[in-house]
Structure 1
Amino acid sequence: MRLIHPSARFRPYTSASGGWGSAHSVLNILWREQAVFKGAKALLRQNKPHGFACVSCAWAKPGDPHALEFCENGAKATAWELTSLRTGPDFFQRHSLTELRSWSDHDLEQQGRLTHPLRYDPQSDRYVTTTWEQAFGEIGDCLRSLSPDEVVFYASGRASLEASFMYQLFARAYGTNNLPDSSNMCHESTSVGLQQSIGVPVGTVTLADFEHTDCIFFFGQNVGSNSPRMLHPLQEARKRKVPIITFNPIRERGLERFVNPQSPAEMLGPKSTLISTQYHQVKIGGDTAAVLGIAKALFHMEQHASNSGGETVLDHEFIAQHTEGFSEFQAEVERHDWAELERISGLGRAAMEAAATVYARSEKVMVVYGMGMTQHRQGVENVQMLVNLLLLRGNMGKAGAGICPVRGHSNVQGQRTVGITEDPAKVPKEKIERLFGFKIPEQKGLTTVDACEGILNGSVKGFIGLGGNFLRAVPDTNRMEPAWSALAVSVQVATKLNRTHLVPGTHTWLLPCLGRIEIDRQNNVEQSYTTEDSTGCIRAWRGTAEPASGQLLSEVSIISGLAQATLGGETRIPWQQWRQNYAAIRLAISEVYPDIFHDMEARMWEPGGFHRPLGASQRKWTTPSGKAQFVSPSNLDEDDDVDEVDPDRRSVLQLMTLRSNDQFNTTVYGYNDRFRGVKGTRSVVFMNRSDIVRLGYVPGEWVRLRTAVEPQVVREVGPFQIVAYDIPQGCAASYYPESNPLIPLWHHAKQSKVPAAKSIPVVLIRAQPSASEADNAIPDEDQAI
């Protein structure tokens, strides 16, 4: 696959995030996708009342939106969906799947929108057109021939609440709880950790809290690339002199400086906004030690205040009334000395004390974090350590304070709210059974990791994918792809062609759906949808552009067609009625989940939408003890696999996967990573210059990366070119999903099964690039940093 383009180079980026770089990037992709007029018109309606919800990230939308309520990556996602390019039947007449498997992820999606329902023809090794009726009928026949627990119903996070609700009912009525989703690969550690600690599986912070906070802590989240619209409330907070304290292995430009592209004064002037007032480059896997160090400093400050008669640092009244486990946590903190905390975190004592000092002076503190915390072996405990930090000073259940996990795809949190989960205990079983006339299976279904194991051992024989690029997103890619071919049934609902579609099972269909931006008409009536954002806010939206093809169906229609063809009249689920009127789906949602969705049809159009009830935000803790829980960490080292093969950690580097500025999830918009100074390639590994030298390499040299554990299974990627970069010693980074083959399937968070993609033990092996790669290599002289 082609991962490098002509004129590849590395040159450190010196400008702020946002600004002219962002504006130029938006214009460039609108031009490239041949969607300048259509895309620009759509952007005026993006994240607006009665407009459409952003296709990419799940960051909250304000009730009083900006004139241009979109960010650079949101605009790229809009242009990508509204492209004038098409991947029609003629494309598949020209290209076999064997040929297409040699193409890159970028080049596959660059062909444009899928236009017709397709069935794989093994004789010609091509997709051929079919009718919707024939596809539904054949898929229904195949599903009925399999045992329900042999089939996986996967959801990517892009589907609406309406489609997600129908999808989980379809799976359960069919007879399985096999409902893994993209949460299993990113924030399931949040769902498990927060539920145990504060009694809710989601964050407690809303957009309004940013207006009241007086201190923000950031952990493991790259706001500049992954959720740039958050930079607006961060900038407003900084204008109020709110300190922002960041812990992240790499210095990300979005957390350093920002120029608001919507401000003429900022765009035309020399100034930018400083975002992080402290920036601590914690080692990969050192976050728990860093937070423990902050807590240790707070306890010392509390002791000093007690001895001197000063003001207390801890909120003893809150701790006594609302928490459990404080004494055990304090004892655990005091058990570790500063030398150990410094070694594991990679930070000096002074850095941790500096963060603690600002925290102690602040009354309303929020913690924002991303997958840099969740995708570790101890990912659940990482999340709980952040909660511990907030509980020490009562920063939960008051305005301007709380925990704020930043979710990825736009409705990945919402689909969980309406039942996309492998655990039947997390859905209102009695209500569903009474309303729809079928029994929910009692046994737990498969998570994403479980589903992968089932595909590898042959126990999973059918797979339905509601969006996503499963084979590129999961770990152990090079083992998964050959096993995928043994599937009896593979059904993929998608808008564009991706790698997963090119690995067919025995019976394979590719079903094209409407994009989120497109108008969905049923019986000539335009339908509306709802989604839930990262802050638990639910709001309505509707498409504004004409569909890319008259052959496209909505996800609701596709789910309804599959369910009717598979189940017939076995339930009381009114599939056809729902297909024609989405308000009827919302009525059913409100009947199943009345505490969250009562009066949904009216409330969803309120400015800013409505928030789901969160007991923790009112200091109501739905935990077994009825209190918030301090949880002591079992291990300061978040990823200890490497100790077995390299106790001194001399030859092994801890590798984190990351996204470029020019991608969203597995969708690669281009080969530039502007903020990291990389142009024209994704075949790079970022390393500390001292590690490059001590391991006997030079910047610009080509290497392969090999997983350093389980040596009997060779997991290797490359060749990648070494780029000297500002990253802690012993750490390295490379792009997702290209480095996913390095992650063993078992290398996941111990309680949540989230793949530990942010800490993979690897070794380097010298490699020879191909002729084209060598011709386009990054010149060493560009790597001065």
Structure 2
Amino acid sequence: MAGQSDTVDYGGASGGWGSLRGIFETTAREMASPGALNTLRKQNKAGGFMCVSCAWGKPKHPHAFEFCENGAKATLWELTTRRCTPEFFAQHSVAEMRGWSDHDLEQQGRLTHPLRYEAASDRYVPCGWQEAFSAIGAELKATDPKSAVFYASGRASLETSYLYALFARVYGHNNLPDSSNMCHETTSVALKELIGSPVGTCVLEDFEQCDAIFLFGQNTGTNSPRFLHPLQKASERGCRIVTFNPIQEKGLTSFINPQRPVQMLTGRETPISSQYLQLRPGGDIAAIMGLCKAVLAEDARSGGAVIDHAFIDQHCTGFDAFRAKAEATSWADIERDSGLSQAGIEAAAQVYLRAERVIGVYGMGLTQHVHGFENIAMLVNLLLMRGHIGRPGAGICPVRGHSNVQGQRSVGIAEKPELVPLDKLAEQFGFQPPRDKGMTTVEVCEGLLEGRVQAFIGLGGNFLRAIPDQARIEPAWQNMRLTVQIATKLNRSHLFHGRVAYLLPCLGRSEEDLQSSGPQTVTIEDSFSHIHGSLGHREPASEHLKSEVAIVAGMAKETLPPNPKVQWDEWTADYGRVRDLIAETYPEEFHRMNERMFQPGGFYRGNKARERVWETESGKASFTAPDTLAATDVPDAEGRYRLITLRSNDQFNTTVYGYSDRLRGIEGKRDVVLINPEEMRRAGLVAGQRVSLIGDAQDGQARRIDALEVVPFDLPDGSIAGYYPELNPLIPLQHHDRKSKTPACKAVPVRIEAAA
């Protein structure tokens, strides 16, 4: 069974001296510029700059060092002294670099000059900024706007995102996918339909008041380590934390706080989860159904004293159908699909029943499934049963991955026109915005395969590395007319290009952004809908860099016809004028934005569902009755496994800082497949053996990754795990959430083939 002593494991807690070692090793590896550690002292503080890593909230009263291991790594990675110059590109062809690892590409350092692709030499060569803008504008003018895609990663500021979305719509399309499409679009779709808000309802202060936290599919120690501080405090004051996750993650079992000297000196750990249930990948619907079934049974025994019937009668619809479904669902089916025992689920339900204020927390372990919508809907059901949405100390809390990915949606980066105040934009800027739906990430990939996408502009990110079915998409990518990548460092997406291609280097968030009116501030939104000003102070890595705002404006000026209401030069000169535009477009949420952006803890843009105002079709919050207990459509079969793709704690998204997955006890490698010892025995495998993973989606497409090392690990039966993005080629493009089209990177059907 999983959990045997011969599995790989990290003996320590999350945090502690290991976290400090990770930061200092990154400092040495990146040869970070002088003063980099001093820069970290200003990170995530009012008047400083906001971390480009995760989107966890920034407190009103920050710690002396308000950053985590991964946040520090992201800043040190940006402040490296390494430089990726035109001389580097003269020495290396694009074809050659396609054989390099993600880590080695980014280790070349910061990009220093604008570059264009030269087909004759298969190299990037330097060019002038105006040359690039003019050529890009000419190509876009010659391209049907509906065949162009403007992608945005989560790191771009609110100011850049607003102007980028405006550029796209004045140009003539809503093809504005962003990194949310790959991770939390399921959240945006499900919560909007069920409670009327596309984002979570919690704020940081709720974690100081809750009695119980139910946490699903989120690896705090690796993906949002600053979350460990409120979890530690909650645990110490008696809040019960119940975790559902196929993998025992160190950040959810124990924590040593690097900012507590006594803990560091004594090594005394704070336990985090009071109960930890290792369910099957894709078993969350069944597990939460079990929790709800237990609560309904207790309500029946108590004569209706458990469930908040008054709240349900006033604020909810669909409860009777949901209750009937839960009561009709057998415990045998729940145990089969969840991989958990009835006794274990009922013990977790007792925590829920004893708590007055419950927060439901989740990550991509819920969103990245074929039935991700149903995963989130079940968690909403659980919380609504006792009125745990719309009051202090309770609510639903999706943990966003990227620094401003939620904020981009707030200011117009959306392929869904109904999410954007198009009439207001038409009035402000004197044009007719397109009203047709744009493309999601999955639809962009489908369009590439069908030849319908002819231009791609990437505002940051590593799109081609982050998507599913990479082996199919990469060849189609090169059929495009135009590709433009705005970036700070080299990555794999830059090595596949259209017939005309430009690589444009931008400032990092920690660097000073000096425009004609002086130093510029940008803003970002955290996971709790709070807006923060960010002011960079570091000297830019190169005198040839431009800000993202200036790059977007430069391209737009050369593409669009003159319009006296669209003032690209004035907006570039003073970002405060862009914030005035945002406040005019979204007055309820962003009024007096310039005045409030450095408010300690950020200013709250509000959330109607938190006030129990449900902006849904019915005007109420919705219970739903799922038609499946499994979040995957591929049935179990002999020799078929459910693959989980995951990140190491030496990584952020597709950026691989190094090869130490300390919190899982895996060092010096990423070409691994994790599997429990009992499954190894049944499959005739031994630790260290090299195997292949074969896609088993039954769709006629061949998918295969070779030479993966077998590593014994504590996982549920029938499941295996490996690293993202290396295993993305095994994920079928059509394997996505049915409503949001978020790629289903969890419970991917695969088989193991041993080397001959």
1:571 Cα shift?
6.2
Q: 2:491 aligns with which of 483, 498, 520?
A: 498
Q: 1:601 aligns with which of 594, 608, 615?
A: 594
What is the rounded CA distance, in whole Å, between the counterparts of 1:759 and 1:513 in structure 2? 37
User: 1:93-132 counterparts in 2 under 5 A?
Assistant: 93-132=90-129
What is the rounded CA distance, in whole Å, between the counterparts of 2:161 and 2:271 in structure 1? 40
What is the rounded CA distance, in whole Å, between the counterparts of 1:544 and 1:214 in structure 2? 41
1:652 aligns with 2:649: no
Cα separation, partners in 2 of 1:79 and 1:10, compared to 1, 3 Å = farther
1:754 aligns with 2:742: yes
1:78 paired residue number: 75
**What's the % identity of the aligned pairs?**
55
2:585 paired residue number: 592
1:394 paired residue number: 387
1:695 Cα shift?
1.6
Contact 1:38-1:82 at 8 Å conserved across structures: no
1:528 aligns with 2:521: yes
1:668 paired residue number: 656
User: 1:307-456 counterparts in 2 under 5 A?
Assistant: 312-456=305-449
User: 1:478-493 counterparts in 2 under 5 A?
Assistant: 478-493=471-486
What is the rounded CA distance, in whole Å, between the counterparts of 1:39 and 1:568 in structure 2? 43
2:3 paired residue number: none
What is the rounded CA distance, in whole Å, between the counterparts of 1:484 and 1:527 in structure 2? 36
1:245 Cα shift?
0.2
1:634 paired residue number: 627
What is the rounded CA distance, in whole Å, between the counterparts of 1:710 and 1:573 in structure 2? 51
User: 1:493-642 counterparts in 2 under 5 A?
Assistant: 493-523=486-516, 525-570=518-563, 572-641=565-634
What is the rounded CA distance, in whole Å, between the counterparts of 2:747 and 2:473 in structure 1? 20
User: 1:24-423 counterparts in 2 under 5 A?
Assistant: 24-35=21-32, 37-306=34-303, 312-423=305-416
**Structure 1: 5+ residue runs without aligned partners?**
1-8, 769-785
Residue by residue, what CA displacement relative to the aligned partner does 1:511-557 show, whole Å, maximum 9, x if unpaired? 00000110000016110011000111111111021100000000000
Contact 1:213-1:400 at 8 Å conserved across structures: yes
Tell me which amino acid in the other structure corresponds to 2:180. S
What is the rounded CA distance, in whole Å, between the counterparts of 1:12 and 1:622 in structure 2? 46
Tell me which amino acid in the other structure corresponds to 1:228. P
Tell me which amino acid in the other structure corresponds to 1:623. T
Residue by residue, what CA displacement relative to the aligned partner does 1:672-693 show, whole Å, maximum 9, x if unpaired? 1001111110000111211111
**Structure 2: 5+ residue runs without aligned partners?**
1-5
Cα separation, partners in 2 of 1:674 and 1:576, compared to 1, 3 Å = same
What is the rounded CA distance, in whole Å, between the counterparts of 1:226 and 1:401 in structure 2? 22
What is the rounded CA distance, in whole Å, between the counterparts of 1:697 and 1:711 in structure 2? 27
1:55 Cα shift?
1.0
Tell me which amino acid in the other structure corresponds to 1:22. S
1:781 paired residue number: none
Query: Which stretch shifts more, 709-718 or 662-671?
Result: 709-718
Q: TM-score, normalised by structure 1?
A: 0.95
Structure 1's consecutive aligned runs of 4 or more residues displaced over 2 angstroms after TM superposition are: none
Where 2:503 maps in the other structure, the secondary structure is strand
1:270 Cα shift?
2.8
Tell me which amino acid in the other structure corresponds to 1:624. E
Q: How many residues align?
A: 751
1:765 Cα shift?
1.1
Tell me which amino acid in the other structure corresponds to 1:115. T
What is the rounded CA distance, in whole Å, between the counterparts of 2:595 and 2:367 in structure 1? 36
Contact 2:58-2:601 at 8 Å conserved across structures: yes
What is the rounded CA distance, in whole Å, between the counterparts of 1:152 and 1:515 in structure 2? 23
2:752 paired residue number: 764
1:11 Cα shift?
4.5
Q: TM-score, normalised by structure 2?
A: 0.98
What is the rounded CA distance, in whole Å, between the counterparts of 1:696 and 1:762 in structure 2? 17
Where 2:660 maps in the other structure, the secondary structure is coil
User: 1:700-739 counterparts in 2 under 5 A?
Assistant: 700-710=688-698, 712-739=700-727
What is the rounded CA distance, in whole Å, between the counterparts of 2:414 and 2:39 in structure 1? 33
1:783 paired residue number: none
What is the rounded CA distance, in whole Å, between the counterparts of 1:49 and 1:533 in structure 2? 14
1:638 Cα shift?
0.6
What is the rounded CA distance, in whole Å, between the counterparts of 2:527 and 2:457 in structure 1? 26
What is the rounded CA distance, in whole Å, between the counterparts of 1:106 and 1:53 in structure 2? 24
Residue by residue, what CA displacement relative to the aligned partner does 1:357-377 show, whole Å, maximum 9, x if unpaired? 110010000011000000000
What is the rounded CA distance, in whole Å, between the counterparts of 2:198 and 2:656 in structure 1? 30
1:759 Cα shift?
1.3
1:779 paired residue number: none
Tell me which amino acid in the other structure corresponds to 2:660. N
Contact 1:378-1:749 at 8 Å conserved across structures: yes
Q: 1:681 aligns with which of 658, 669, 680?
A: 669
RMSD: 1.1
Contact 1:173-1:571 at 8 Å conserved across structures: no
Tell me which amino acid in the other structure corresponds to 1:392. M
Tell me which amino acid in the other structure corresponds to 2:659. Y
What is the rounded CA distance, in whole Å, between the counterparts of 2:391 and 2:452 in structure 1? 48
Where 1:681 maps in the other structure, the secondary structure is coil
What is the rounded CA distance, in whole Å, between the counterparts of 1:755 and 1:69 in structure 2? 33
What is the rounded CA distance, in whole Å, between the counterparts of 1:465 and 1:477 in structure 2? 17
What is the rounded CA distance, in whole Å, between the counterparts of 1:513 and 1:622 in structure 2? 39
